[in-house]
């Protein structure tokens, strides 16, 4: 049955759903939350939590990447951010947090105009490795060819190629595009790549040999892509479509499983629950972790789109401070808005609906239930 809607006589569009449009439905069985497992594994790396920190300067520093890793998640450092442009960006992070709204974009463009220093990429990744946690760093597709060898030589465990959107067939008349399939084949480390938001785009990325695919386009709290470019992918539909591509690629490849990681629109505990319910193996979160007392953004949140030199498609937004990183992950919760105890909420939802692990929970029943959060 088609869910296409007629926009006008010359245009039809498929109805798509965000996380706010759906809800998880209890089943005939319930469980004790203490019996629920939320661990997952990608390649040789096991994590106790299905939480990957977005590579954004407001979220991740080397110290917070280590802290999240020690809690059981995965911190991904932005290797094009302030920590690889400046020896000590602490003062600049404090300045960004104090900027007046009308000054923020212009001043951030000036700050991020400083060149990336390869030796700082090496230094930051070694700082994370010295703490004994899994080391992950991210580059945009545009910077990957320039800096990937530095990243590999520094000893990264997981390599993330993250852009607003990433395709396996980028076309350019100005520069040699990154050949993802050849690039991933030649690397000795697992690669997570994205974002993708459709079945076809994700299937092509899976065929490049990626270990994981990031799902999302312009859905984060700090993005203005929808109003700047008119492009947006509602996350519930996007995750479900990419999960279908994972299923079909599993058959096509003879059993190769590619992990689906929801990236964007996962700002509160209920979003995390619904992302897994739609088929995600893990979630990449930004705003949720930017609310931590330890977060470098000091209550503010922004991504690389906010300081793009030609076309900013994001902004610095105030997310406030909800509690410590440990409280955001494990509670206790002091308010009923889904900002604290993300892991406890996921376990409670899985237990309430009768599922014992994440793979089982991907089969939970969902309904379309539009809801406008307060």
- Cβ within 8 Å of residue 10, ≥6 positions away: none
366 class by beta-carbon count within 10 Å (0-12 exposed, 13-18 middle, 19+ buried): middle
Task: State residue 152's pLDDT score.
Answer: 93
Domain boundaries, the chain: 4-368
Task: State residue 172's pLDDT score.
Answer: 41
Exposure of 72 in the CB half-sphere (CA atoms within 13 A):
13
Interatomic CA distance for residues 104 and 240, integer angstroms: 36
Segments of the chain scoring below 70 in pLDDT: 1-2, 164-177, 218-227, 312, 371-374
pTM over 0.75: yes
Q: Which two tokens stand for residue 168?
A: 């396996």
- The residue behind tokens 């993300």 is 342
Task: State residue 182's pLDDT score.
Answer: 85
Task: State residue 222's pLDDT score.
Answer: 57
Task: State residue 145's pLDDT score.
Answer: 87
Q: Does residue 236 contact residue 18 with C-beta atoms inside 8 Å?
A: yes
CATH number of 4-368: 3.20.20.70
Report how far apart, in Å, the C-alpha atoms of 252 and of each of 78, 203, 255 are.
33, 10, 8
Reduced to 3 states (helix: H, G, I; strand: E, B; else coil), residue 314 is strand
Report how far apart, in Å, the C-alpha atoms of 40 and of each of 137, 260, 281 are.
19, 11, 7
């Amino acid at each position: 049955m088609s869910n296409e809607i007629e926009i006008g006589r010359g245009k039809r569009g498929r109805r798509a759903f965000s996380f706010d449009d759906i809800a998880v439905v209890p089943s005939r069985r319930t469980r004790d939350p203490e019996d629920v497992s939320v661990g997952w594994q990608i390649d040789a790396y096991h994590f106790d939590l299905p939480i990957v920190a977005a590579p954004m300067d407001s979220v991740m520093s080397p110290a917070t990447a280590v802290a999240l890793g020690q809690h059981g998640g995965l911190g991904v450092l932005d290797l094009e951010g302030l920590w690889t442009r400046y020896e000590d960006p602490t003062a600049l992070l404090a300045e960004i947090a104090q900027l007046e709204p009308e000054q923020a974009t212009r001043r951030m463009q000036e700050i991020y105009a400083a060149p990336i220093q390869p030796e700082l990429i090496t230094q930051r990744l070694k700082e994370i490795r010295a703490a004994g946690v899994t080391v992950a760093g991210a580059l945009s597709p545009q910077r990957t060819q320039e800096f990937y060898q530095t990243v590999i030589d520094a000893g990264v465990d997981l390599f993330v190629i993250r852009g607003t959107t990433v395709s396996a067939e980028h076309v350019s008349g100005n520069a040699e595009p990154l050949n993802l399939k050849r690039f991933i084949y030649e690397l000795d480390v697992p690669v997570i790549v994205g974002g993708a938001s459709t079945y076809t785009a994700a299937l092509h990325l899976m065929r490049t040999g990626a270990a994981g695919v990031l799902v999302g386009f312009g859905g984060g709290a700090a993005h203005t892509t929808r109003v700047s470019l008119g492009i947006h992918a509602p996350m519930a539909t996007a995750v479900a479509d990419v999960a279908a591509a994972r299923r079909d690629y599993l058959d096509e490849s003879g059993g190769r499983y590619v992990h689906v990681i929801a990236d964007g629109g996962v700002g509160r505990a209920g979003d995390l629950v619904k992302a897994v319910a739609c088929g995600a193996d893990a979630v990449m979160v930004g705003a949720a972790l930017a609310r931590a007392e330890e977060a470098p953004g000091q209550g503010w949140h922004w991504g690389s789109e906010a300081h793009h030199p030609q076309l900013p498609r994001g902004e610095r937004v105030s997310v406030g401070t909800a509690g410590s990183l440990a409280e955001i992950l494990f509670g206790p919760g002091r308010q009923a808005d889904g900002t604290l105890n993300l892991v406890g909420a996921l376990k409670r939802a899985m237990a309430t609906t009768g599922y014992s692990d994440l793979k089982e929970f991907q089969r939970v029943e969902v309904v379309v239930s539009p809801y406008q959060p307060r």
